[in-house]
Copies of this chain bind each other. A is one copy, B any other.
């Protein structure tokens, strides 16, 4: 299923006058808009292949219909999103869930949809059929060297898959840890993990990055071997320049100040990228911006400030990816909402009056500093995000058009009602 550009044009024509009014007003309020709109056009957020089907919890999974049955259909789904919002121009694959059978065909299909291959993800948290050793007691940390070797080899194979597709980064998320006191020697688990990571790192092409994700808990419930930003930082410092920390917004203890972590990792040149989602209790994997939109803005505020301070390219120098799971929403609608929320937060962060903020900070004018940030946050920037879509041929209202075109019904008609996406 492909969304015809005529349909987008028709959709936009209906909304254009209302949109133009908003944009004119906004321009009158904030002055220059061109620079922001261009940055929004350039900003692309990768879609993980596993977010295209209905995720679930350990208690159950309530599948929708028309879920992608193959890598080809996953690419098609991301293509639909990108056609609607022109901000989802990349897909992030999970190996072994998404191993292509024909690389050229897959690359050609992605190119048709204007999609790149973002970071490839290894999986050593589940046992695959016919796998020699089990990861029940960890992978890169395992006390058994043979298990570690198997896990290292898998990661190296994932790099090979990524090279074949044109990816330039490997994301390593480890479920490794322990569920009971005494189970692990923390120091040896760390050292085994470091040794394994060094072997993987050695297999990275020179233009690649290794993103080491941290997570406070789950699926292990006593300790995790890469549990917080400090632990990830201590590993990537030892590994080398190509190793960076990846921040998943849902992987923190309650009340953690994530934006400060982001700022410090940027300062140390050790921030690699993001997994966006939102959460209230743990790694809830909810739609980005659905619960804590101000936190999302504050994170982008640090990103814009910190990347600019280092002369970094917002669109290219960090990895931007969604990592969410959608048990009760249509996955494609959910992803459209996540992308929209991220773009809004980015636009608001671009609006912050940095010179005034620096002055307020230097004067310890806390009231004024709050006003400067909240002024940006309270500004309704949705027209800017819509304008970026309009200019690049996407829809003014992606969810609206998705519904008007009954895309889900079309997918069900093509793929069936009882399909279930491969992977999680």
Query: What residues make up the interface of A, taking CB atoms closer than 8 Å to B?
Result: 21-22, 25, 28-29, 55-60, 62, 125-127, 134-137, 143, 175, 178-188, 190-191, 216-219, 221-223, 227-231, 233-234, 252-257, 259-260, 263-264, 266-268, 279-282, 284, 286-287, 289-294, 298, 301-302, 305-306, 309, 327-330, 333-334, 337, 344, 357-358, 360-362, 364, 366-367, 369-374, 377-380, 382, 399, 424
Contact = CB atoms under 8 A, between A and B. Distances in A.
A290 B180 contact: yes
Contact of A59 (B126, B181, B289, B302): B126
Top 5 nearest A-B pairs by Cβ distance?
A230-B230, A182-B369, A221-B284, A186-B263, A62-B136
Nearest to A64: B136
A35 to B, nearest CB: 21
Given A137-B364, A222-B257, A329-B367, A187 B267 contact: yes
A99 to B, nearest CB: 19
A109 B221 CA distance: 36
A257 B367 contact: no
Each complex incorporates copies of this chain amounting to: 4
A139 to B, nearest CB: 11
17 contacts: A62-B136, A143-B364, A179-B366, A184-B361, A185-B305, A185-B361, A187-B264, A187-B266, A216-B255, A217-B284, A218-B282, A227-B257, A230-B233, A233-B234, A252-B253, A253-B256, A293-B377
Contacts of A279: 221
B59 A175 contact: yes
Contacts of A186: 259-260, 263-264, 267, 302
A421 to B, nearest CB: 14
A408 B361 CA distance: 20
Given A179-B327, A255-B281, A62 B134 contact: yes
B227 A230 contact: no
B424 A58 contact: yes
A186 B262 CA distance: 10
A214 to B, nearest CB: 10
Nearest to A290: B180
A180 B21 contact: no
* Most chain B beta-carbon neighbours within 10 Å: one of A136, A222, A223, A291: A222
A260 B223 contact: yes
A302 to B, nearest CB: 7
B329 A366 contact: yes
Contacts of A183: 328, 361, 364, 366, 369-370
A294 B56 CA distance: 26
A383 B291 CA distance: 25
